[in-house]
A and B are shown apart, each in its own frame.
Chain A
Amino acid sequence: MKYSVSVRKFDAVIVGAGGAGLRAAIQLSESGYKAAVLTKVFPTRSHTVAAQGGVAASLGNSEEDHWHWHMYDTVKGSDWLGDQDAIEFMCKKANECVIELEHYGMPFDRTDSGRIYQRPFGGHMSNFGEKPVRRSCAAADRTGHAMLHAMYQRNVKANTQFFIEWMALDLIRDSEGEVLGVTAMDMETGEIVAFHAKATIFATGGGGRIYYSSTNAFINTGDGLGIAARAGIPLEDMEFWQFHPTGVAGAGVLITEGVRGEGGILLNAQGERFMERYAPNAKDLASRDVVSRAMTTEINEGRGCGPNKDFVLLDISHLDPATIMKRLPGIREIAIQFAGVDCIKEPIPVVPTAHYQMGGIPTNYSGQVVVPGRRSQNEIVPGFYAAGECACASVHGANRLGTNSLLDLLVFGKSAGESAVDQLKQSPKAHKEMPQGEIDRALTRIDRLNNQKDGASVHETQLEMRRTMQKHAGVFRFADLLTQGVDKILQVRENVQRTEIKDKSAVFNTARVEALELDNLIEVAVATMVSAEARKESRGARLWYKECNRLDYKSVKLTPLTVETIELKTRAY
């Protein structure tokens, strides 16, 4: 094995340039620190760009709202599995973070009085669960796009140094467990570099590509999770995956909940608005796990639509076409492109589709990565931070509310950045010495891949993984399927360890990138399946089909910062 690895030194290295990474980068660059932002794709191509419906903040621009109500909804949405300190922190910080974005230039839609436009969204209610409230701050149905571009633009202003089309490979830790940066590959040249840093922030997004049918982009391969797991950092709450109620049937492309926020309704084959039966109060705007389960039940009980009765319909044809064109123009394009229907006239066929990873790298609400240790359950890993979908703060618990993901990446991207800045202020000038053996971890993987003979096909192996996850860890969880699923996914992992690529060239070798991504995906998949099998209860987005009980003794982990604990209740919408 002969690879030359050059070392580059920075104050901080940020892995990922989606919403969380860009928000953290603003914090570091504007504080005058030298940060390297590594990203597999040009920043505005990160998957935050695909977020549609909005970002939650209790601005109260259209009706009365309060962060405490938002906190209540988030705790309830999480089925009491979220940490109430982090949830309080996030909901309190929401207004400040959204206003900052507006100041960066984000083109929010406006109310008649010139304020940020807000629309209702699933699970967001006023007065502790009373009735739906307008809390989702939106730029048409392109909120993520508008947000990501505004944050990239702010980073251009702040002179952030980007390493575009660089893929992080592995973490560099010393013998005391402190994180000293990452090894990474320049995709254009194949060169491997060690980024030596005092602070390392992961903002690598989720791993939704473990599922066969997913709203996620090709790049959502859970890189940060794979890297953390290989470096001995346990992942948290990985059994909780959100199935978004409205993915385009067959294509998987997301249709925002904002469609229902604007008045869209779900219909079964009999033309019945079935959500009235499952959630008499919130109806189509119940939280996502509730709606997805209701849809799946309708389909399982034979009330699905189409020749195979395998989808339901999302109807907005009763809305004024002008409203659709103004508030949901992107959805109309998606419906035409991917469902072949014009939603002004016809309903859109939809199915619950894997969408969001509630679990991830465990952090506290300051974005510091924590692991169970000798002294406490939440021991801080020095020099290591995580934010956004790759992290688990944990604000989403067993089920995330719509629009809380964009809020999560803003609030925790910023707080991870602030924590890193605080650490850098106190750090000595010199970098800690980097142990050579740690760099070898990445080189060993590259070398294995370059020399593998008679191995497994990357394409076939990833298909097998995605099919296994889809079948064994879907909307409803069955004990026997999960037990078999664990065996199966461990077998798939054996194949992942012997993948072979035919293309061995150095320049922009996307076959190599895909094989390295699969190394990360399989960590996410195994963690998901094993934890799903181990958690013998129904909670939030994961439901045991028969034993429908929540194990309440496990509840309410961390208490709020200033307000009283929101006590456990039966969850109904």
Chain B
Amino acid sequence: MTTRTLQFNIYRYDPDQDKKPWMQDIAVEVDSTDRKLLDALVKLKAKDDAIAFRRSCREGVCGSDAMNINGKNGLACLTDLSVFPAGKPIVLRPLPGLPVIRDLIVDMTQFFKQYHSITPYLINNEPPPERERLQSPEDREELDGLYECILCGCCSTACPSFWWNPDKFVGPAGLLAAYRFIADTRDQATSARLDNLEDPYRLFRCHTIMNCVDACPRGLNPTLAIGKIKAMLVQRAI
């Protein structure tokens, strides 16, 4: 089996031991069965068990292992080791803009607070029918590209507007979720949902920078959803 050595440059910070964050140079040997960055990280942790990062499904659906990889947000489990150029260390940092708990683990409280602020659940006050509420395949298709979000945080933490106003701007992930419910024909709270976003900060801090689209590991397009919400607000105003 062919092996090769990968050089890493990793952000380290353990509040118990470190006065301030530092960058650790560390190398690890990987073999041909190690396809993804997460595989290499697991090997790194076997070498130095103090390196802390989140991970779970290792197939890109749980959203745990989001981190900043060579300057770009992504999931370690979906990042091919083959994309890294030889001879250059792979630089790993925590997702930018959120407080660091330890090493590559960030405090996502603010991110989830914004997600929760958009009433992320279906609102339909009619008594539930005995069977399913009907929805045509075309109406259901409106939810494609919206419901698949895994709440990894890659998009919001790539967004300069979110960096500046994480407490006031809902951010791309939250806004994508907001539009997911607005677009659902079964939801009856569109007007309240639009009221909730009609605010100079909550929605309108999006300046269409589109870092979110670039960062989304699921290939979703929060900017498009945000544009649709903006258009609905304009339409409502005239």
Q: Which residues of A contact B (CB under 8 A)?
A: 41-42, 44-47, 49-50, 99, 102-105, 107-116, 139, 142, 145-146, 149-150, 153-154, 156-157, 188, 217-219, 250-251, 253-254, 330, 333-334, 337-338, 457-460, 501-503, 505-511, 514
Contact = CB atoms under 8 A, between A and B. Distances in A.
A424 to B, nearest CB: 25
B116 A156 contact: yes
Contacts of B45: 459, 510-511
B57 A503 contact: no
B72 interface: no
Interface of B: 14-17, 33, 35, 45-46, 48-50, 52-64, 78, 101-103, 105, 108, 112, 116, 120-122, 124, 128, 130-137, 139-140, 143, 147-148, 150-151, 181, 184, 186-187
A159 B179 CA distance: 22
Given A42-B108, A49-B150, A102-B132, 6 more contacts: A49-B62, A139-B147, A505-B16, A508-B103, A510-B45, A510-B52
B132 A49 contact: no
B35 A251 contact: yes
A322 to B, nearest CB: 13
Contacts of A505: 14, 16-17, 50
Contacts of B130: 99
B56 A41 contact: yes
Given A44-B62, A47-B56, A47-B57, A114 B135 contact: yes
Nearest to A501: B49
A337 B57 contact: no
The residue in A102, A139, A218, A502 that gathers the most chain B C-beta atoms within 10 A of its C-beta is A218
A110 B136 contact: yes
B5 to A, nearest CB: 19
A153 B121 contact: yes
Nearest to A337: B78
Given A104-B122, A250-B33, A145 B148 contact: yes
B111 to A, nearest CB: 10
Nearest to B32: A250
10 contacts: A41-B56, A42-B108, A50-B61, A104-B122, A108-B140, A115-B131, A142-B61, A145-B148, A156-B116, A337-B60
B52 A50 contact: no
B137 A112 contact: yes
Overall SS of chain B's interface: loop
A42 B116 CA distance: 13
In the complex, the 6 A-B pairs of residues with the closest C-beta atoms, listed nearest first: A105-B122, A114-B134, A511-B49, A503-B50, A153-B121, A459-B46
B121 A157 contact: yes
B14 A111 contact: no
Contact of B15 (A108, A146, A459, A507): A507
B62 A50 contact: yes
A511 B50 contact: yes
A45 B62 contact: yes
A108 B140 CA distance: 8
Contacts of B108: 42
Contact of A154 (B121, B134, B186): B121
B33 A115 contact: no
A384 B17 CA distance: 40
A449 to B, nearest CB: 12
B122 A153 contact: yes
A507 B14 contact: yes
A514 B49 CA distance: 10
Contact of B184 (A107, A156, A157): A107
Contact of B148 (A113, A142, A510): A142
B179 to A, nearest CB: 13
